Amino acid sequence: MNPKAVRSWIMYDWANSAFVTTIMAAVMPVFYKEVAGSGLTGNAAENYWGYTQTIAMIFVAVLCPILGAVADYAGSKVRFLSGFMIVGAAATIGMAFIGENDWLFASLLVIIGTIGYAASNTFYDALLPSISTPETMNAVSNKGYAMGYLGGGLLLLVNLVMIMFYDKLGFSSKTSATQTVFAMVGIWWVVFSLPIMRNVKETARDTSSGFGTALKNGFRRVKGTIGTLKRYPELLKYMASFWFFNDGINTVIVMATIYGSGIGIETNDLIAALLITQFVGYPSTLLFIKFASRIGIKKSIYSSLFVYMLIVILGFFMTSAVHFYALAALVGLVQGGSQATARSLYAALVPPSRTAEFFGFLSLSSKFASVAGPFVFSVVGTITGSSRYGILALLAFFIIGIAILVYVDVDKGRREALAGEAVI
């Protein structure tokens, strides 16, 4: 391994996690409800936020597998990561111009920003096997998530201070302070993406045939990916499991704050709870490396998913800020470790020379699957008139994911990946 490349790869989690914490999880959901959606009635803002996430995931699902195949073909994962990072950061900076009742403009920018984040993350994930070894992959993956918690948490702490003490810091209103926060997130994302752009190198490939041919080959490779999945039955089972439990995790992330706001928890309490998640998540994700190595990668994922089931059940009964703090601590305990371990397990089950293509295909499948979580939350909330039943419905995603994961043989899956590499 190249230590400088590893550090630079890890630093990108520090860079892009600011978008997750501030835009997707903490500040924007509340801003969307109280400012951008100020003219909406009832629980319409929560439902529109869920639909916004659904639309964004559909776009990402369509784009990523094709772009992943092209990136593998041309050896350009870093360039694609950089391009989508710039798109996402620009949209985030643009959020500084969202005003009262601008919910449609806010939704548009959130969709563009989410596309930039999710697409760049596809290529970021796909770089993992090339900057690590099979023995170090899980540790490097967990360190990336841990650094993301630390970076996202530090910026969120600054954001919280700016919003809470806006008048003492010279802002004319809480709204103007929040708009400045959005611009800061976009700038932070760009600045701390520079190391991965400079220090992570890929093997150059012949691109003399041009982008059109590469794109055509990209479509062909995606079609080939679908056709060759039968060679990797363990990977296919794991993907099915991942679709469900990852959808449950992502829905908890993007809907938790606006759900809390909808049941009457104050903005400062919501953001403070997200800080708890970040700073509990940092050491917990690092400890998860030892936990997974001691009990095994599958058992560690099981453990985290059972905790998520407990979080969903307790979330249904939540009534106060203290409850939200407790649930935030539980999320921080398992969120980074579960996602990092799931990522490293997937990387271990795919042919090494086609990582971007397979991670792109995972984005296609999981993002289409991820439409279901926010959509179910919003539909159940619309039908019942209460977001509590929407959050409870997420329980099914974890139960189904665990049930499928039971049948995944990890060792057999690794052998299938190596066998498939031999025939590529």
pLDDT in tens, 49-92: 878 878 887 887 777 667 766 776 667 889 889 999 999 999 99
Residues 243, 179 within the same domain: no
Alpha carbon of 117 to those of 114, 309, 389: distances in Å? 5, 27, 29
- Whether residue 229 lies inside any domain: the answer is yes
- Of residues 50 and 16, the one with the higher pLDDT is 16
Pick from 247, 255, 253, 243: which is nearest to 377 by CA?
255
Same domain membership, residue 346 and residue 270: yes
Give yes or no for a contact between 399 and 309, defined as CB atoms under 8 angstroms apart: yes
pLDDT of residue 369: 62
Per the domain annotation, does 388 fall within a domain? Answer: yes
Evaluate whether 179 touches 60 at the Cβ level (below 8 Å): no
The least confident of 41-45, 86-90, 152-156, 254-258 is: 254-258
- Based on the fold, state whether residues 287 and 245 are members of the same structural domain: yes
Residue 215 included in any domain: no
Boundary-marking domain end, from 162, 182, 208: 208
Please indicate whether residue 355 or residue 197 has the higher confidence score (pLDDT): 197
pLDDT at 424 over 60: no
Highest mean pLDDT among 139-153, 218-232, 295-309, 370-384 belongs to 295-309
Q: Does 216 fall in a domain?
A: no
Residue 405 domain-assigned (yes or no): yes
**Same domain flag for 198 and 229:** no
Let me know whether 201 and 228 are in one domain.
no
Within a domain: 214: no
Give the pLDDT of residue 160.
86
Q: What is the rounded distance in angstroms from the CA atom of residue 422 to the CA atom of residue 424?
A: 6
Question: Residue 120, SS3?
Answer: helix
Q: Are residues 204 and 225 in the same domain?
A: no
Please tell me whether residues 90 and 37 are part of one structural domain: yes
Tell me the pLDDT band of 367, cut-offs 50, 70 and 90.
Answer: low
pLDDT at 210: 63
Maximum distance among all Cα pairs of the chain, rounded to whole angstroms: 65
Identify the domain containing residue 316 by its residue range. Answer: 221-423
Q: Which of 173, 208, 243 is the last residue of a domain?
A: 208
Distance between CA atoms of 402 and 127, rounded to whole angstroms?
A: 27
Same domain for 30 and 174, yes or no, is yes
Number of domains in the chain: 2
Domain boundary among 186, 208, 230: 208
CATH number at residue 162: 1.20.1250.20
**198: exposed, middle or buried (Cβ count in 10 Å: 0-12, 13-18, 19+):** exposed
284 with 261, same domain: the answer is yes
Helices (H) and strands (E) in the chain, counts: 19, 0
**Judgement on whether residues 309 and 177 belong to the same structural domain of the protein:** no
- Considering the domain architecture, whether residues 251 and 197 belong to the same structural domain is answered as no
Instruction: Report percent pLDDT > 70 for the chain.
Output: 90
Candidate ranges 30-44, 71-85, 239-253, 394-408; pick with highest mean pLDDT: 394-408
| CB-CB neighbours of 223 under 10 Å | 11
Q: Is residue 255 part of a domain?
A: yes
Between residues 63 and 101, which one has the greater pLDDT? Answer: 101
Q: What is the CA radius of gyration of the chain?
A: 20
